[in-house]
Amino acid sequence: MTGYAQDMQDLPKARPAAACAAMALAVTACGNPAPLEDEQLATVGTNGSVGQVELRNVYVQRPLDGAYQTGEDARVLLTMVNSAERPDRLAEVTSGYAEKAMMRWDRNCDGTAEQVEAIPLTAGGTVPAPDGKAVTGHLPYHVELVSFDRKVRAGTTVPVTFAFERAGQTTLDVKVQPVHPADQQPRRACT
């Protein structure tokens, strides 16, 4: 067979390949991507909310030797976003696993996070940046859990309660980062 007859005979064989190519093009074509669900977001830590305050990627920094021992301290890193029309503030943090929790904020963006009574949240925003400073890398605030009352292993969770002046309070099971061979010290938050 030659010519048109051969082409017609080959047509059914070509259709599946053409259909697959068209489907692949449709799947990878431009358009509005499907929104990600919370469980699809790749974060190290725990996500939660209370009132109109979102707590995102809340985690205890990994212990360098695989576990925090009784009496040791640890940093809790997190992102807080206030979607309310009025400012709010993180007024208190507690944990049943630690003697106390201290809020720290690098208000002057000098690399030293001082202990503060509360961490402010702007209306429709997050923690205010120091005047004239750009915030990059890690955020200039954190919570320090002081004196664990038990051994806390990497890869487990620690209950931490966050109390806001207006939004209310919530308790999250905060993840303790697992140990990773590429561990490195965090960068300074301000430039």
The alpha-helical segments, DSSP class H, found in the chain are: 4-28
Position 181 scores a pLDDT of 52
Report CA-CA distances (Å) from 77 to 14, 19, 29. Answer: 56, 49, 38
By the 8 A CB rule, do 99 and 155 touch?
no
- Closest by CA position to 176, among listed 150, 160, 152, 143: 152
Average pLDDT of adjacent 10-residue blocks, the chain of 191 residues: 47 43 37 41 82 97 94 96 96 98 88 91 86 60 97 96 98 90 52 49
Position 98 scores a pLDDT of 98
- Distance from the Cα of residue 33 to its chain's centroid: 21
Position 106 scores a pLDDT of 86
Quote the CA–CA distance of 82 and 59 in Å, as a whole number: 19
Task: Please give the structure tokens belonging to residue 182.
Answer: 């590429």
Position 156 scores a pLDDT of 96
Position 187 scores a pLDDT of 54
Q: Which residue has the tokens 């400073």?
A: 133
Position 135 scores a pLDDT of 56
Position 127 scores a pLDDT of 87
